[in-house]
Structure 1
């Protein structure tokens, strides 16, 4: 294998490892589809509420982050019907997915702050 191919493979491996490590270390996943800025906190679900990975993976969500947002039925209507987050966020087990919108929907500005991409003001 030539040096260029080896370098590309090594960089790709580091990139994938970096993404995975970031998701695990930080505990947050921010969905960007079908709307920008819907946050899921692993810390809240696992650490604070004592949930196990198997409660969501692989029945409600695939293990790979952000895979769900590629599905046509990843919508609020689907959540209201008990799919995805709505399987637990039904008003009985956890707050209803149709209430407390700002708990999950952080929007564009929240997304920018969470990812460090917010424009910084130079005015004082």
Structure 2
């Protein structure tokens, strides 16, 4: 285990100890990015339940404003592969690598539509 992994594990353990305060302060609804491609989902809930504290990402990797990162020209998969944004943790050591399990985050246009309608799909004629 690397020093970085140990530090993140320690922060996660402290975050779990303060779980009530952390859990009360994050947006429940998933964020669905639409740039540079539509339908990329991020869930604060999933990450908080794994013991991550807000300051592990915010003001270091991401600003507090939802979807602000998608305005950056380098908010592309290649940057994640280089350890930026989600790729800081999704590197294959701390969390699944950004170049694996694509459908975990990339829900696509239809998935984005379902996320807006609560999972209901509208049937259209052919």
Q: Give the structure-1-normalised TM-score.
A: 0.75
The answer to whether structure 1 residue 45 and structure 2 residue 47 are counterparts is yes
1:25-64 correspondence runs (5 A): 25-26=28-29, 28-47=30-49, 49-64=50-65
Larger radius of gyration: 1
2:41 aligned counterpart, secondary structure = strand
Measure, in 1, the Cα distance between the counterparts of 2:86 and 2:124. Answer: 39
Measure, in 1, the Cα distance between the counterparts of 2:113 and 2:64. Answer: 25
Deviations 1:4-26 (A, max 9, x none): xxxxxxxxxxxxxxxxxxx8232
> What is the total number of aligned residue pairs between the two structures?
99
1:35 aligned counterpart, secondary structure = coil
Unmatched runs of 5 consecutive residues or more in structure 2: 1-25
1:38-117 correspondence runs (5 A): 38-47=40-49, 49-116=50-117
- Relative distance call for 1:102 and 1:52 in structure 2 (3 A) is same
Question: Which of structure 1's runs of 4+ aligned residues deviate more than 6 A?
Answer: none
Q: Give the structure-2-normalised TM-score.
A: 0.74
Measure, in 2, the Cα distance between the counterparts of 1:103 and 1:122. Answer: 27
